[in-house]
Structure 1
Amino acid sequence: MEFQNRNLGIPKFKSPLQLSTVRGDKIFNFVGEEEKFVFDLSNDNYTQCLEKGVEPLCLEKAGPRQDLFFDPSNTTAAIVTCGGLCPGINNVIRGIVMALHYFYGIKRILGVPYGYEGLNPAMGHGFVDLTPNKVKDIHLFGGTFLGSSRGAQDVSLMVNTLAENKIDILFAIGGDGTLKGVDAIGEEIAKQGLDIGVVGIPKTIDNDIDIIDKSFGFETSFDVAGSILRDAHNEAAGAYNGIAIIKLMGRDSGFIAASAALAMPVVNLVLIPEMEFHLEGPNGFFEVLEQRLSEKRHAVIVVAEGAGQHLFEKKDVVKDASGNVQHQDIGLFLKDRIKEHFKDTSVTIKYIDPSYIIRSAPANSSDSVYCSRLAYHAVHGAMAGKTRFVVSKVNNQYVYVPISQVTQKRKKIDLESEFWFSVLQSTGQPFHLG
């Protein structure tokens, strides 16, 4: 891994923030470029570094710098939101606008409508002027104030749009595809020799962005899902051999399904993309479900949308506009197979898919705090001239990480981790299904 962030050039302007450079005066200090956090906190890594006489791999601490690359009196910033909806997008938009305006005195802030489409003049979306008054209440609502879209646009065209509109900084709020896109924009900017900074704020409801602790909106997602699981349990328990199946988001990673099951411990089986399971055979899904019904007369099953794809007949791979594989519907598949399996037994099956309700929910208190702090740190890094980075928490510290490092692979649940073991302890399901 390489955690060295790119910079547009030497900072030449003094920050307008009235912060301190002295410890102990009870005023927050500017963050120095030398301030870093160790990435691997394990004792093994510590020992190896000592034995080899090398410095450990470190991450750059996020926060306000004393010296800025951009002149606040002559800077234009733009914000774009891409991909699927996620709780907290409006909170981040609001936080960026407020920080730019009130911290740095930047007056020209543009909103890019409907994702990267908004940087293609041919789409005719134009720009939205963002002011504190315009965004002051948007955090109360879910969705995105600016609108979103999936799919790529011509990179050179988007860079030309930024340059022609004298945009100095682009803040891109989105997941894996969005971050790859803004990194490509940054690469093209460098090729053209332009002084335009690009910043990513990682947004994916699935929490599958590598390296970082969590993406915003994730906590709200399993918070909202928790009440749905509670109600689904009530439905299942209210019928003889009642079975509730709840499909939650999670294309490649099962963090929402697993976390929701822990948060609302009424779930008996959790199926996630990281695990391979079988329906038939000894200790298979059906056998475990039969045992549960014989003991308690009801069962709650949570399945992530990307789970069990190996159970379907092989078909040509179809991808959406963002390049994500479109999975077959495991929820309806399970409902039909369970119904078929128990055709000679009296069962009541309830199937629930609350995905879009969860996606469009407003951020809860925890995510609201996280979104504001991400926004502030993103602005501080951008004003200092840092580019092609994401701001997030790693090891519970706010840091700047090169986009290229977080987009190399998707984060997944380690089936040997204590986290997954906690899920199994909560549900009572075996380590392997079949």
Structure 2
Amino acid sequence: MGQKRIGILTSGGDCAGLNAVIRAVVHRAVGTYDWEVLGICRSTLGLMSSPPEVITLDIDQVDRLLTMGGTVLGTTNKGDPFAFPLEDGSLRDRSEEIISGYHQLGLSALIGIGGDGSLALLRRLANQGGINLVGIPKTIDNDVGCTERSIGFDTAVNIATEALDRLHFTAASHSRVMILEVMGRDAGHIALNAGIAGGADIILIPEIPYSLEKVCDKIRDRQSKGKNFSIVIVSEAVCTLEGNPVKNMDRFGECRLGGIGQYLAEQISISSGAETRVTVLGHVQRGGIPSSLDRLLGTAFGVAAVDLIADGKYDQVVTWQNREVVSVPIAEAIGQYRAVDPNDTLVKTARGLGICLGD
């Protein structure tokens, strides 16, 4: 088959399971095909550097990675390479620098691990610069199209579920409404899955409009039955009663979702008289030791991605469908945003349990 040199990078937000992918790619590429694997540091920023910022990955080096969170290669979720922000505030198209870095390294192919935004940018770079790209979906939001699961989602759900488990005791001890705000950007998968698994009484997700009255009715109904506390889990993407997302602006002028939990706490307290407390998990959901499922998924995806390169199949992304790894065109995956379907089995399950979804 001949010697190949392939590159691998992680792009976008970090999550648990990325290092398991890197480990699997190296095992398959080096151990089976006798290829060379270069890890590209800091995503596309590493390819922008001159010379490109890379490390050679071997099996002994990656064997310790299976249980590690984050990504040993580093990542970035800032700086569109087609409109890259400079220190003077201007924007520059630096795409050709990235493409030049790929060819300068003599890579036969590139494995890009990212969410829908990262995969879209990488595909655009690949089409422009003749890069042989294979994608692997990762996002704790689980919103990449065509795949039932993305790397990082299961660990995030486990962390949110554990938080709900812990909140139950303090909520009951103080007769409070405890609100847990979780990540989710535009999708409510984390809130829905963790809410059911963690025994939440109320689950609020952006795909299902809510009524404050219905939420407070649920709390009062529990109180009338002698249940002096309630547990609410809410996705950060849920809007205010006026339909506006709750955002905070950082010192760099970037707006980020966050704050809906505190907003709801105030509204619930005013409307129901209940004492409320808020916990915001934030980046805790991204960190920590990856779950067994994220390790398995990452490993299966890594092996499959290398096999696609061996078969000369590019512009593909590996996905998980019906307990199998199936490759689909990247354009198809990023073209089908995967939000929660209001008729989803888990939505029906939540309703069947009497969980209030706010509607």
Q: Does 1:112 align with 2:40?
A: yes
Match of 1:339 in 2: 269
Structure 1 residue 330, shift from structure 2 partner: 0.7
- The answer to whether the 8 Å contact 2:178/2:231 transfers is yes
Sort the Cα spacing of 1:83 and 1:270 in 2 relative to 1 into closer, same or farther, 3 A. Answer: same
Q: Deviations over 1:46-67 (max 9, x none)?
A: xxxxxxxxxxxxxxxxxxxxxx
Aligned-residue RMSD, C-alpha: 2.5
Q: Does 1:290 align with 2:220?
A: yes
- The answer to whether the 8 Å contact 2:182/2:236 transfers is yes
Q: Deviations over 1:355-385 (max 9, x none)?
A: 3112112211122111111100000001221
Write the distance in 2 (CA, Å) between the matches of 1:425 and 1:229: 20
- Correspondence for 1:226 among 149, 157, 161: 161
Percent same amino acid at aligned positions? 26
Residues 237-248 of structure 1 aligned to structure 2 (within 5 Å): 237-240=172-175, 242-248=176-182
Write the distance in 2 (CA, Å) between the matches of 1:369 and 1:425: 31
Structure 1 residue 93, shift from structure 2 partner: 0.8
Sort the Cα spacing of 1:416 and 1:119 in 2 relative to 1 into closer, same or farther, 3 A. Answer: same
Match of 2:84 in 1: none
Write the distance in 1 (CA, Å) between the matches of 2:275 and 2:222: 14
SS of residue paired to 1:137: helix
The TM-score, its normalising length taken from structure 2, stands at 0.89
Write the distance in 1 (CA, Å) between the matches of 2:100 and 2:16: 31
- The answer to whether the 8 Å contact 1:309/1:328 transfers is no
Structure 1 residue 427, shift from structure 2 partner: 4.5
- The answer to whether the 8 Å contact 1:219/1:366 transfers is yes
Structure 1 residue 167, shift from structure 2 partner: 1.3
Match of 1:156 in 2: 96
Q: What amino acid is aligned across from residue 111 of structure 2 in structure 1?
A: F
Sort the Cα spacing of 1:87 and 1:413 in 2 relative to 1 into closer, same or farther, 3 A. Answer: same
- Correspondence for 1:329 among 259, 265, 269: 259
Structure 1 residue 277, shift from structure 2 partner: 1.2
Q: Does 1:378 align with 2:308?
A: no
- The answer to whether the 8 Å contact 1:248/1:354 transfers is yes
- Correspondence for 2:125 among 169, 181, 185: 185
Match of 2:63 in 1: 136
- The answer to whether the 8 Å contact 1:182/1:199 transfers is no
Write the distance in 2 (CA, Å) between the matches of 1:129 and 1:217: 25
Structure 1 residue 234, shift from structure 2 partner: 1.0
Q: What amino acid is aligned across from residue 274 of structure 1 in structure 2?
A: E
Q: What amino acid is aligned across from residue 340 of structure 1 in structure 2?
A: I
Write the distance in 2 (CA, Å) between the matches of 1:238 and 1:146: 44
> Which runs of 4 or more aligned residues in structure 1 lie more than 6 Å from their structure 2 counterparts after TM superposition?
314-319
Sort the Cα spacing of 1:221 and 1:76 in 2 relative to 1 into closer, same or farther, 3 A. Answer: same
Sort the Cα spacing of 1:125 and 1:286 in 2 relative to 1 into closer, same or farther, 3 A. Answer: farther
Q: Does 1:102 align with 2:36?
A: no
Residues 27-426 of structure 1 aligned to structure 2 (within 5 Å): 71=2, 73=3, 75-106=4-35, 108-121=36-49, 126-151=53-78, 152-153=80-81, 154-190=94-130, 196-240=131-175, 242-264=176-198, 266-280=199-213, 284-295=214-225, 296-309=227-240, 311=242, 326-342=256-272, 345=273, 347-426=274-353
Query: Which structure has the bigger radius of gyration?
Result: 1
Write the distance in 1 (CA, Å) between the matches of 2:330 and 2:341: 23
SS of residue paired to 2:257: coil
- The answer to whether the 8 Å contact 2:245/2:257 transfers is no
Q: What amino acid is aligned across from residue 335 of structure 1 in structure 2?
A: A
Structure 1 residue 313, shift from structure 2 partner: 5.3
Match of 1:41 in 2: none
Match of 1:35 in 2: none
Unaligned runs of 5+ residues in structure 2 are 82-93
Unaligned runs of 5+ residues in structure 1 are 1-12, 14-70, 191-195
Q: What amino acid is aligned across from residue 303 of structure 1 in structure 2?
A: V
SS of residue paired to 1:199: strand
Corresponding residue pairs, total: 344
Write the distance in 2 (CA, Å) between the matches of 1:248 and 1:389: 31
Match of 1:4 in 2: none
Write the distance in 1 (CA, Å) between the matches of 2:229 and 2:356: 14
